[in-house]
A and B are shown apart, each in its own frame.
Chain A
Amino acid sequence: MNLRKVTTEAKLMLIGIPVLIWTMLPIYHLVLFAISPKDQAMGGQLWPDHPTLHNFEVVFRQQHHYLNFFWLQMWNSLVIAVATGLITLMIATGAAFAISRLKVRGGRLAMNLALLTYFIPAAFLAVPMYKTMGVYGILNNQWSLILAMVTIATPYSIWVLKQASDKLPYELDEAAKIDGASPLQLFRLVYLPLMTPSLVAVGTYALLLAWNEYLYAFLLLSSERDITLGVALGNFLAADDSPWELLMTTGLLYALPPAAIYYTFKRYMVGGLTAGAVKS
């Protein structure tokens, strides 16, 4: 009995340890570069002889010509992510409420069009989106990226919110109607409070999507003062003499906020975003 218990634990370890190494290796390597002095970063060591926070100091003080706009670009990433999250939330919540609760005419068609959009691979839409933003005259304006990210984030958001919304009992709506509530009162006083967990999940999803985006960001923005931190990291690569240890330090700083946001809202995210998928 005891022996069987030991074998079970050993088998679990046999899966768990490779999973840990596989998952953490690129992230550990990122951290390793960030805490290594310039001459040791490229020595192939698994731990530096003298770990240092010097790279962070250089990045924070913007003491390299690749980093002249570090704080501004971090701010750009934040503004674009938050704007995308809020606008997506407003559009998707309204649409899901109209489709699921108000049973608006054309709601089913709208839902199907949104799903169809969700199934367009994002890279396929990138070039037409780039040309379109040119036609609208907002290329190199941060609104073009915000609107593009809203376009990509809304379909899945509407779908998740509609699935959650369909599960609310209709007796609530009937009771509100009998009490003489207007559609807006139903929305504000009944719908929004009950939907809060799903709304948090969807808002976080859109925010992370925009913060992490690279392709659309580098197509739609180009001025050093407008780009996000992700695009700035890509620009590092263009040169041969790039300071790799600073690039990795900046990358680590860029990766920290989304990780923190994910862990903060994890219990909403996992439930909210996987519920729809499982049901199907």
Chain B
Amino acid sequence: MATLALPDERPADPTGPAARTSMSPWQRWGLILLAPYAIVFVVFVMYPVGYGLWLARHPASYEKLIEDPVFLRAVFNTLAFLIIAINVKMIVALVLSGFFVVARPWIKWLSLLFILPWAVPSIPTILSIRFMLNPEWGLINSLIFRLTGADGPNWLNDPYIALGIAMLVHIWKSLPFWTLILIAGRLAIPAEHYEAASVDGATGWQKFRFITWPAMRTLYLTCTILSMIFTMGDFNSVYLLTGGGPADLTHVLATLGIRYLRLDEVDMSMAAIVIALPAVLPLVYFMMKRLSK
């Protein structure tokens, strides 16, 4: 009797033996409140992922994929996106986070406008950029013609320029978010450190090198990895700007799935994602190690 009575005194302890035999109201309500998410997970994450992997089971899909020049080009473009766009974006975000923490009324106002690209939907702004670049009547080429008398380039018709602009669109859209995170990181550094450094006569660079960077290094790395994972899913910056063209030369992995879906080759579209997993999973593992404690 005594052993049975003891756990009843600590009903909230989930490891207690009583929790297994008769459920406390705390455990029961915990399960009830957790159940909706569990259902969402099973029905809309586990089942689709399992279904996707099942569709990707044919070795023939992978052979076809490797032989498809559009796929190889998409892999190249995705790597270029990850290496160039992400690093440029994060370095600019790091610099701008230092700019936005300076206390000036006009910088506060600017920071309000600066967030707009992130807050508004992609489609109107990306279409706006697309029209700006129209070779015949776009704003950019009209200005080039007025200033130099020469015709501007057909921006989106050159695969390299088009990919470069897609990267700029991606940076334009997501720079505010990462800058915001890095600003929060900078504000968490105690001001006394900088004051002490100023007393010692440290230069701005020395303050960055010995105070800011050591404090921000981990956050910066986390943001970079997370941004890489998200960027692989950045469908809008490429699809709404170039639609994968010209001649399917600007696809990335995120748009490739939709291309194969349109061609009615769903198994190819899933195989393209499965083939990317060896690159994605280490990044995901790194993030899980960081965030789940």
Q: Which residues of A does B touch, CB under 8 Å? A: 12, 15-16, 19-20, 22-27, 29-30, 32-33, 42-46, 90-92, 94-95, 97-99, 102-107, 110-117, 119-132, 135, 147-148, 150-151, 154, 158-159, 177, 182-184, 187, 208, 211-212, 214-215, 219, 230, 233-234, 237, 244, 247-248, 250-252, 254-255, 258-259, 262-263, 270, 274-275, 277-278, 280
CB distance from B131 to the nearest CB of A (A): 6
Residue in A23, A43, A106, A252 whose CB lies within 8 Å of B34 = A106
CA distance A177 to B13 in the complex (A): 13
Decide if A119 touches B14 in the complex (CB within 8 Å): no
Q: Which residues of B does A touch, CB under 8 Å? A: 12, 14, 19, 25-27, 29-34, 36-38, 40-41, 44-45, 47-49, 51-52, 55, 95-96, 99, 102, 104, 106-107, 110, 112-117, 119-129, 131-132, 134, 137-139, 141-143, 145-146, 172, 176, 180-181, 184-185, 188, 219, 222-223, 229-230, 232-236, 239-240, 253-255, 257-258, 261, 266, 269-270, 273, 276, 280, 283-284, 287-288, 290-292
CB-nearest residue of chain A relative to B287? A119
Residue in B12, B240, B273 whose CB lies within 8 Å of A124 = B273
CB distance from B22 to the nearest CB of A (A): 14
Decide if A132 touches B38 in the complex (CB within 8 Å): no
- List the 6 closest A-B pairs by CB distance, nearest first: A44-B142, A121-B233, A251-B124, A104-B30, A128-B52, A94-B33
Interface core residue of A26, A91, A208 (most chain B CB under 10 Å): A26
CA distance A247 to B131 in the complex (A): 11
CB distance from B36 to the nearest CB of A (A): 5
Decide if A131 touches B266 in the complex (CB within 8 Å): yes
- 22 example contacts (A-B, Cβ-Cβ < 8 A) are as follows A16-B107, A23-B116, A27-B117, A30-B128, A44-B142, A90-B36, A94-B36, A102-B27, A103-B14, A103-B30, A114-B41, A123-B258, A126-B258, A128-B49, A128-B55, A131-B52, A154-B37, A154-B40, A187-B29, A274-B180, A277-B181, A280-B222
Decide if B123 touches A98 in the complex (CB within 8 Å): no
CB distance from B190 to the nearest CB of A (A): 14
Decide if A251 touches B34 in the complex (CB within 8 Å): no
CB-nearest residue of chain A relative to B286? A119
CB distance from B183 to the nearest CB of A (A): 8
CA distance A264 to B33 in the complex (A): 30
Residue in A106, A110, A255 whose CB lies within 8 Å of B124 = A255
Decide if A278 touches B185 in the complex (CB within 8 Å): yes
Kindly list chain B residues whose C-beta atoms are within 8 Å of the C-beta of A208: 119
Decide if A119 touches B44 in the complex (CB within 8 Å): no
Decide if B138 touches A44 in the complex (CB within 8 Å): yes
